[in-house]
Structures are given as C-alpha cells and as structure tokens.
Chain A
Amino acid sequence: DQQVKQNSPSLSVQEGRISILNCDYTNSMFDYFLWYKKYPAEGPTFLISISSIKDKNEDGRFTVFLNKSAKHLSLHIVPSQPGDSAVYFCAASGRSFRGAGSYQLTFGKGTKLSVIP
C-alpha cells in the first residue's frame, strides 16, 4: 500500500514558467512533509519542508502548499530554471505513527522535472 503517491512520473516546463509538482498521501498520521531533489549520480538533497500545522512554506523560488483535508501537497517553483531539472521526491513522516521518537520518512516514487531552455 503506497502511502505517499506522486502520480506524475515526469513533467516538462519551459524556462521561466511555473513548475508544479504534486504529491498525495493516505496516512492522516503524517505530520511533517519534505521535498528532496536528486540529480543523476548524486544522493537526494533536502529542498523544503512543511509542518502539518502550516499550509504554506516559502523559500526563495520554492513554495510548498499543504492541503490537509485533501491530503495533498504541492511544490511550486517560480521561475523554473534549467538547473532545476532533476527528480523530485516527496516524503512524509509521523512521529506518533511509527512509535515515539521515530524519524522514518516514507518517500514517493519521484517526479522527473525537465526545464526546457
């Protein structure tokens, strides 16, 4: 049972436009959500996160939105740049879900973003 879903395996966007990457989750116990970015031949790197007590978090060109009622989050990149081309993973965690003090992350399958110059 996939608890974190990224239904779009790939996305192509023109440079300068907005990229919107989507993520859905099924477990209502998740209370923290993160986005990771991964280039080929490198490990994932943390990009941005949001707690379940918020509905928006912004960091420069990157904004994450959380809709708890819909169990949906999205990552907006504005404006998109060719260097943003990478695989983006959505991840979720819930301390109470896996036991006190647990920091396990559940990852989606990833969305490959291609920003076309």
Chain B
Amino acid sequence: EAQVTQNPRYLITVTGKKLTVTCSQNMNHEYMSWYRQDPGLGLRQIYYSMNVEVTDKGDVPEGYKVSRKEKRNFPLILESPSPNQTSLYFCASSLLTGYEQYFGPGTRLTVT
C-alpha cells in the first residue's frame, strides 16, 4: 500500500529535550516536505527536499532541522524544543512530475 508514515503519532516532551520525528514514504517520491498546522493558521511549510541531500527552508524553518540521506526518509529534528513548537506536524511527499502531495497521518507534539 502506498503511504507516508510518521512516528511517533503523539509526543509530549519538555522544553530543551531534543527530539526527532521520523517520516518515511514507499512511493519512490523525490519531493518530501514538512508542515505544521496550527488553529487559525492552516498548513505552513517548515522544510522541503527535492531529492537526497537537497533540502531547503519553507516558510517557518526556525527551530527545526531536517536531513535527507535516503530517498524514502525525511526526519524532522527539534534540537531544543520550545512551547511555541507545540503543534500538529505533517510530512508529505510527491513526484517531481506532479504537484499532488501525499500526506502522512500527522504527529501531535506538545512541548511543556
């Protein structure tokens, strides 16, 4: 089954404790992206990657890091999480030949 998976689905952590949210896709997509969804703000892009070892900032990259060492994986790293990073996070992927992105199920992160 074609899918984008994210782990964990739910995470509660404390300020300053480094964490990683994993994202994996099995569709051989070149393009992968991370979004955050906040009430009243919709979906905002954090980082994206056009292919292995090629990443770039989205609209709200501050406080986040990413890496793309393999085509299928695109982890999101929060080196020192803060409460304003409490949000619902989505990973997405697509072929470079199309705009339609496939989204993962989301990771709800709470930073206290």
Contacts and interface: CB of A to CB of B under 8 A. Distances in A.
Contact of A49 (B4, B44, B96, B99): B99
Given A43-B105, A103-B94, A93 B43 contact: no
Contact of A109 (B35, B42, B50, B106): B42
Contacts of A45: 103
B48 to A, nearest CB: 6
Contacts of A46: 100-102
A101 B98 CA distance: 11
Contacts of B96: 101, 103
A43 B104 contact: yes
Given A43-B4, A109-B40, A109-B42, A104 B103 contact: no
A104 B102 CA distance: 13
Contact of B106 (A42, A89, A91, A93): A42
A43 B99 contact: no
B31 interface: yes
Interface string A60-78: 0000000000000000000
A20 interface: no
A105 B45 contact: yes
Interface residues of A, number: 23
Given A89-B42, A104-B45, A104-B48, A32 B99 contact: yes
Task: Tell me which of A6, A44, A108, A110 has the highest count of chain B C-beta atoms within 10 A of its own C-beta.
Answer: A44
B61 interface: no
Interface string A19-50: 00000000000001010100001111110010
Interface of A: 6, 32, 34, 36, 41-46, 49, 89, 91, 93, 101, 103-110
21 contacts: A32-B99, A34-B100, A36-B103, A41-B106, A42-B105, A43-B92, A43-B105, A44-B43, A46-B100, A91-B43, A103-B50, A103-B94, A103-B99, A104-B45, A104-B48, A105-B101, A107-B35, A107-B43, A107-B44, A108-B42, A110-B42
Interface of B: 4, 31, 33, 35, 40-45, 48, 50, 58, 90, 92, 94, 96, 99-106
